Structure 1
Amino acid sequence: MKKITHSNGYTSPPAYAALRIKAIQSLLIEKGIVSEEALNEVVDIYENKVGPHDGAKIIARAWTDVSFRKKLLDDGTQTLSELGMTGFEGAHVVFLENTSDIHNVVVCTLCSCYPWAVLGLPPAWFKAPQYRSRVVIEPRKVLEEFGTNIPDNKEIRVWDSTAEIRYIVIPERPEGTESLSSSELSCLITRDSMIGTRLAKSVRE
């Protein structure tokens, strides 16, 4: 957390939310409910070990393996479990496939339910009230603000995550990528494209 120092030498206190989190963390440690080492390990996992690169590998495989893609679409939860990608934030996951006729986009209107176990930490805008309220009302306009222009003849479906279920988008595979390896394909898949606010990168990008 960045500290702000004024010209008089005093340091501004942390934001209220940060202070509240620190107080709760200190109380949990003090009461022996959790150790500081365990908290640090959780933070390290989600900041450095789990992230959208894991999800990108799954999508790249789905692009090249028809039977694997079908498994993801039929039962994403079980397929992820077989890959060892489960956890309290990824217990129920549904994969949505973008096609030439349909574009899927994910939101959580109530809070910020998100498939952490596959995509890592959610972006700040995913939790913002502006995104959560507007994308369900005017999805095409919101996507345009992300730089994603969906043709008028393509249906946009908005999926609302809940505490019981999370969604991950399988973006359309870009043209001209037939000769790319799985690792090369995964570089074209971003976190935002797996939320649905952007398309997968083209080979030119």
Structure 2
Amino acid sequence: MPHDHHHDHPHTLLPSDPALRVKALETILADKGLVDPKAVDEIIDLYQNRIGPQGGASVVAKAWADPAFLEALRADPSGVIAGMGLGGRQAEHVMIAENTPERHNMVVCTLCSCYPWGLLGIPPGWYKSDAYRARVVRDPRGVLAEFGVTLPEETKIRVWDSTAEVRYLVIPMRPAGTEGWDEARLAALVTRDSMIGTGLPLSPAEASA
């Protein structure tokens, strides 16, 4: 066709690797004065180093150690979490799901990747994957096995679907042998995956290994 000339559009020149593509896009936007690289670095540092699973772990540890706090958390999770200075981006409206010997909870976002960033930090890649989002609803026990978690057959599994309005925080069961531990020691046992439901807290032996 007369006007079918080949032109290299900017997106065709970007590297294929996602991280390189992001960096290239950031450079283009910075060169055009549309973003401030320092602001981007600040946001990345915020979610990688200052906001992360340690926030959610502090909530879980306090729930384990303080029955009155747990009752307040059950009644108004969003308010209690906000009162701790946590929550924030994508964690303004949080519900808790407590694991028991009878029920294990897992969290997914079947439509996209809704996730409580303010409590757990940056979501892991597998949480956003099509495979996890589709399979955890159909075969939660099988997905758990792939994460190395085997539950008793009598334990029922409940899968919670996060939405744009509501995020979920799993309160895992407190490990045995932690009687008398303070909140700081308890928080060290709480893993990110245990607060999503795809993992369990560390045992005292695992924590000291």
TM-score, reference length from structure 2? 0.85
| 1:145 matched residue in structure 2 | 146
Larger Rg: 2
| Contact 1:73–1:96 (8 Å) recurs in 2 | no
Deviates further, 29-38 or 148-157: 29-38
Give the secondary structure class of the aligned counterpart of 1:89.
coil
Counterparts of 1:75 and 1:15 in 2: how far apart (Å)? 45
Percentage identity across aligned positions?
50
Counterparts of 1:167 and 1:85 in 2: how far apart (Å)? 14
Deviates further, 78-87 or 154-163: 78-87
| 2:167 matched residue in structure 1 | 166
- 1:155 maps to 2:153: no
Alignment length (residue pairs)? 193
| Contact 2:15–2:21 (8 Å) recurs in 1 | no
Q: Deviations over 1:41-70 (max 9, x none)?
A: 111101111111121111111001111112
Counterparts of 2:98 and 2:181 in 1: how far apart (Å)? 20
Deviates further, 24-33 or 124-133: 24-33
Counterparts of 1:86 and 1:175 in 2: how far apart (Å)? 29
Q: Which has the higher helix share?
A: 2
| Contact 1:104–1:196 (8 Å) recurs in 2 | yes
Point out where structure 1 has 5 or more consecutive residues left out of the alignment.
Answer: 1-12
Structure 1 residues 156-195: aligned runs within 5 Å: 156-195=157-196
Aligned alpha-carbon RMSD (Å)? 1.8
Q: CA deviation at 1:152?
A: 1.2
| 1:90 matched residue in structure 2 | 91
Runs of 4+ in 1 over 3 A off after TM superposition: 16-34
Counterparts of 1:71 and 1:121 in 2: how far apart (Å)? 27
Q: CA deviation at 1:33?
A: 5.0
Give the secondary structure class of the aligned counterpart of 1:125.
helix
Q: Mark the CA change 1:46 to 1:157 in structure 2 (over 3 Å): closer, same or farther.
A: same
Give the secondary structure class of the aligned counterpart of 1:96.
strand
